[in-house]
Structure 1
């Protein structure tokens, strides 16, 4: 199994560990310290050796930060984790705060006295983060202190060792472009930015550029590494040599210099000694790297990671591979959903058993490399927690009359998948059907959207919410995130959300996943992945348009649909989608019972 169902949270350790950290801070003359969920690469998934936030507080979500002061400590999370955090921290030791409604900068400015010294590990915060924080503290009369070493590490006596996952070469046929050609292309972008070199720390950017994959962190096939690319000249890849086979090393040395990570600081100094103009992304690069470059004499050129946009706009080979991966995954989902429908109402199933079964169906394809994130297998009230993580301690049975939500994904060598389906066990209530249909209407609205060049995710996000808003409802997360190809399931810069102002471009892959969550009762989310494409011109149209091609093919539970709430166009889309699911995925499903179920599940909805 790629998923661990053991509970990793133990709030009981919080007070003792907090006391040890405070003693260390006092010894250093600090009035506070920030503990983010981050490592020096600023990636979404981090290894056990960097799980400082979970070690200190017990909170195990994928985003958060703890502010520790002498007499107060608070854990800040976004809307996805407001319920989870309350169950994972000791409320006597830590306050739970909403990262958006009560930003940490404002909380610190109010809590810290004038002249206070707040410590940070500059390897764990980006340039932009510390810039904002420094400004907020300056207004409050407090000082931000960049530390040479992390005080939490001094009291974390059983800290795991850093990972040594093997690195592999990603085939050019799947990548659609050789690493050498990518490096040359990025070099031109660096020169266009009037820079001599660029420092890359985003592990998926490095993996994409060098056509490599890794196994250092869960669910995302990247190696932990740094890189320096140049406008002209060989790049440097800073990676632990113990991760490289002779074949992999030879492949990498053909296109660049392979260097041990211990030499990274010296290489930054070298850029400074030559007075190089160095491109860094302030949103992605650790402040410690920028500080070192400036101290050594380099001139910073601030701009976007030059790899992000080329990586996001997939080429023909990447799109072909991901289409194949999604059909394979769709067949596994059909087998799973058929099994679930045949067994759930009889009783005896629980969240863990269902998640295990889905992974079995994916593994049976013979192509599964990993899952793309921990499966959200959520029954009844747990479905109301958008990022619920099932464990043996939280495991609930599936019950008649309840909703079951499963959000899952797979990593195949030719593509990354992410799909959510919400199903009913037994008979739904009228309220469930109403809410489900409104969520479905939002998902269909995004699927059918046409939009001109320059449109951003913020422009489209309203389409997914309109049917919910009209009933006084909403959901507290973005409508969609970018997705990589055998890389990160959460990829930037493309998103569909109120806060996304990046224009959508052909070849970008996004999720389309509106939802609704009734706290303590049930939740609904329906998710397909889509590709941004150039739309066929319409008669009389005056501007070129773009639209979405659906990548995900698996039935949507029509037992939860209220047809009277849907327009003819929406019903037409759903019927056409189900016909395509049957025609594309059906030939890949060999099991007779699953095929019979698929035929029924994709029957046209029509009007009552």
Structure 2
């Protein structure tokens, strides 16, 4: 999911590289440069060869960017990463900027001189991003696309691009053939009079063609771009060597990457691009770009019956591994095991299933104050013992051929404090509220998000991340367009899988997060319901016990207690038979009724 978190920046990062970049910018005739954590595919994950922000600043978080001017450079991070950025980035060289509270356009207006030329790599910024920034800088500074990225010119030991082989994804797991998907997505183009759509995100292309790969850490994708024509014909642009073992079938033509821009130049008529994901360079290459949504996004998000069945099976398998792990944690002597021991043990139990293809992101295992760093990643430098009286936050997942999992459990090590129990119970109430929700069809994740926060809000508390993200089917653990978030306006639809993960973080002390995955389904009919009003609800996919030692029953309603007891009863029934005897005994005690 995210790169490793380290205590401090590497010594070669910061001033020397920053000075070299400023020299390169002067030679290029620009007075500034934008450094996003992005590649040409505009996904959340980047290969080592595209980790320019990390190379320059030392910051390894999955969201953020830098702006470099002659006299000042800023690293922009949101609330999830501020502790991490302070630890990783040389603050003498880079000012930390609280984003999105401080907008890039406003910062550049404050720090760049009038008439400044700010360079950017048009492959690394979306069409929407550049349009908004140009509007913000109008009359003050100009954005200048550069044909060569100046960081690439000074990055002497830059890694080579990934070269993993693509492989076919079984149609019985996908639930639809690749040709059916192409025809369906192409039909949406003819309805709007567009001749083609440009696809620039590898997970969308892999979904569309029923293929997978290993070009990115923890995500089974092959990097490629494509042109889907209104006829259903698809032109795929990727390294041909990656496809030697894959039969793409009729209607798909493979071309090398260098043929992509000439192909865009030759397209006639209106061509759709998604301005939220397409790089500016793609728009610049088209004669008549038309803005519209990626036609793969919603069909991919609304899982087929086969994909949902696969997700159920993957979560049962994964839940058994997590239960074995939780039993292992309770057997350890506090202070005698570390965060790295936790990561290795959990991955080991998943591998013992015999079905794990990979973990779905780098495991978060934060003990004590490390748990308050939302996307903490343990390294040899940051590793610490898991001590008595602390909370251990473990956020992890697995990639199985039939599904992608993501689960968080917060575990009491020894005797928890009353403060920990109160905070945990409030977070749990939010998770239960989402799990039990029924809502009218047409509402989005924004409408449900307050349900997860209301108990925290009543105590003057909150958390600085969304409540849930979409999840793919043996694809990205973060998949749009659906979310449970204040920023989400996409209506929730049957088949969409989302995470349900409220949290609470006390800086320097502890972190709490509880996460299950859920899938949207038509709500069961209940007595007295309006028969004309279609309602939706969630089916829980994740099965592993909650830590009863952290639950204060006195704070819970009867309905919340009943939900917990029912959930634990189902965990015993679904997971118990798959466990070893030791873990079965542990589970029976850990999931006893409140």
Could you tell me the TM-score, scaled by structure 1's length? 0.96
Cα distance change, pair 6–31 in 1 and its aligned pair in 2 (3 A): closer
In the other structure, the counterpart of 1:196 is: 195
CA shift for structure 1 position 192: 2.0
In the other structure, the counterpart of 2:181 is: 182
In the other structure, the counterpart of 1:566 is: 556
Q: Tell me, in whole angstroms, the C-alpha distance in 2 between the residues paired with 1:455 and 1:320.
A: 25
Cα distance change, pair 8–509 in 1 and its aligned pair in 2 (3 A): farther
In the other structure, the counterpart of 1:516 is: 504
In the other structure, the counterpart of 1:300 is: 289
CA contact (8 A) 1:47 1:162 kept: yes
Cα distance change, pair 4–432 in 1 and its aligned pair in 2 (3 A): closer
2:255 equivalent among 259, 272, 286: 259
User: Could you report, residue by residue, the CA deviation over 1:180-228 in whole angstroms, capped at 9, with x for unpaired residues?
Assistant: 1111111101212321100000111000000000100101100110011
3-state SS of paired residue (2:266)? helix
CA shift for structure 1 position 112: 1.2
Q: Tell me, in whole angstroms, the C-alpha distance in 1 between the residues paired with 2:527 and 2:511.
A: 41
Q: Tell me, in whole angstroms, the C-alpha distance in 1 between the residues paired with 2:584 and 2:92.
A: 54
CA contact (8 A) 2:273 2:289 kept: yes
3-state SS of paired residue (1:159)? coil
Q: Tell me, in whole angstroms, the C-alpha distance in 1 between the residues paired with 2:249 and 2:256.
A: 13
3-state SS of paired residue (2:481)? strand
Is 1:587 the counterpart of 2:587? The answer is no
CA shift for structure 1 position 7: 8.1
3-state SS of paired residue (2:419)? helix
Q: Tell me, in whole angstroms, the C-alpha distance in 2 between the residues paired with 1:438 and 1:64.
A: 30
CA contact (8 A) 1:401 1:428 kept: yes
Is 1:597 the counterpart of 2:586? The answer is yes
In the other structure, the counterpart of 1:43 is: 43
Is 1:463 the counterpart of 2:462? The answer is no
CA shift for structure 1 position 154: 1.0
Alignment of 1:363-374 (within 5 A): 363-374=351-362
In the other structure, the counterpart of 1:173 is: 172
In the other structure, the counterpart of 1:575 is: 565
In the other structure, the counterpart of 2:425 is: 437
CA shift for structure 1 position 115: 0.9
In the other structure, the counterpart of 2:461 is: 473
3-state SS of paired residue (1:252)? coil
In the other structure, the counterpart of 1:280 is: 273
Is 1:210 the counterpart of 2:209? The answer is yes
Cα distance change, pair 233–435 in 1 and its aligned pair in 2 (3 A): closer
- Total equivalences in the alignment: 591
1:502 equivalent among 485, 490, 505: 490
3-state SS of paired residue (1:198)? strand
CA contact (8 A) 1:195 1:278 kept: yes
Cα distance change, pair 3–598 in 1 and its aligned pair in 2 (3 A): farther
3-state SS of paired residue (2:231)? coil
Is 1:26 the counterpart of 2:14? The answer is no
Q: Tell me, in whole angstroms, the C-alpha distance in 2 between the residues paired with 1:329 and 1:289.
A: 40
In the other structure, the counterpart of 1:58 is: 58
Is 1:529 the counterpart of 2:517? The answer is yes
- List 4+ stretches of structure 1 deviating above 6 A: 2-8
Q: Tell me, in whole angstroms, the C-alpha distance in 2 between the residues paired with 1:112 and 1:192.
A: 46
Q: Tell me, in whole angstroms, the C-alpha distance in 2 between the residues paired with 1:469 and 1:93.
A: 38
Cα distance change, pair 506–21 in 1 and its aligned pair in 2 (3 A): same
Cα distance change, pair 3–147 in 1 and its aligned pair in 2 (3 A): closer
User: Could you report, residue by residue, the CA deviation over 1:122-143 in whole angstroms, capped at 9, with x for unpaired residues?
Assistant: 000000000011111114x211
Question: Pairwise CA RMSD of aligned residues?
Answer: 1.4
User: Could you report, residue by residue, the CA deviation over 1:299-332 in whole angstroms, capped at 9, with x for unpaired residues?
Assistant: 2221111100000000100000010000000000
Cα distance change, pair 99–415 in 1 and its aligned pair in 2 (3 A): same
CA contact (8 A) 2:499 2:517 kept: yes
Q: Tell me, in whole angstroms, the C-alpha distance in 1 between the residues paired with 2:325 and 2:93.
A: 43
Could you tell me the TM-score, scaled by structure 2's length? 0.98
Cα distance change, pair 454–344 in 1 and its aligned pair in 2 (3 A): farther
Q: Tell me, in whole angstroms, the C-alpha distance in 2 between the residues paired with 1:13 and 1:388.
A: 20
CA contact (8 A) 2:9 2:87 kept: no
Q: Once structures 1 and 2 are overlaid, which stretch shifts more, 432-441 or 540-549?
A: 540-549
Is 1:446 the counterpart of 2:434? The answer is yes
CA shift for structure 1 position 262: 1.2
